[in-house]
Amino acid sequence: MASLGAKQLIFNAMFCTLNADDEVIISSPYWESYPDIDRLCGGRTVIVPCTASEGFRLQPQQLRESISQQTKWLILNSPNNPTGAVYTRDELSGTC
């Protein structure tokens, strides 16, 4: 698929896959467009705050607690814009 950028790709994918009240988990701080894209596509945003003490990275326990039967998407941005946080391979695989 060709697009004008990552946000257009995300919008297109969400537009094609989200149903009313499907949840999209977004770690905070986040790129300001993500919740708007979610809402435009009919979804419901679940914001999970990530603090500086955690390196602005979503922790496994936070993710587990945020997932519900309505969860359809997780936006996990690495390197994160705006914080610059980067997940390690171990963090992404859940082995740490």
Residue pLDDT tens, the chain, 96 long? 778 888 999 999 999 999 999 999 999 999 999 999 999 999 999 999 999 999 999 999 999 999 999 999 999 989 998 999 999 999 888 765
User: Counting beta carbons within 10 angstroms of the beta carbon of residue 32, is it exposed (0 to 12), middle (13 to 18) or buried (19 or more)?
Assistant: exposed
* Calpha distance 71→68 (Å, rounded): 5
pLDDT at 96: 59
Q: Is residue 74 part of a domain?
A: yes
pLDDT at 94: 74
Say how many domains are in the chain. 1
Q: Is residue 53 part of a domain?
A: yes
Q: Is residue 1 part of a domain?
A: no
List, in order, residues 6 or more apart from 95 with CB less than 8 Å away: none
**Model pTM?**
0.90
Q: Is residue 49 part of a domain?
A: yes
Q: Is residue 89 part of a domain?
A: yes
pLDDT at 95: 63
CATH of the domain at 85: 3.40.640.10
Q: Is residue 60 part of a domain?
A: yes
pLDDT at 3: 82
Range of the domain at 16: 6-93
pLDDT at 52: 95
Q: Is residue 47 part of a domain?
A: yes
Q: Is residue 16 part of a domain?
A: yes
The percent helix, strand, coil of the chain (3-state, each to 5) is: 35, 20, 45
Q: Within 10 Å of residue 38's Cβ, how many Cβ atoms? A: 25
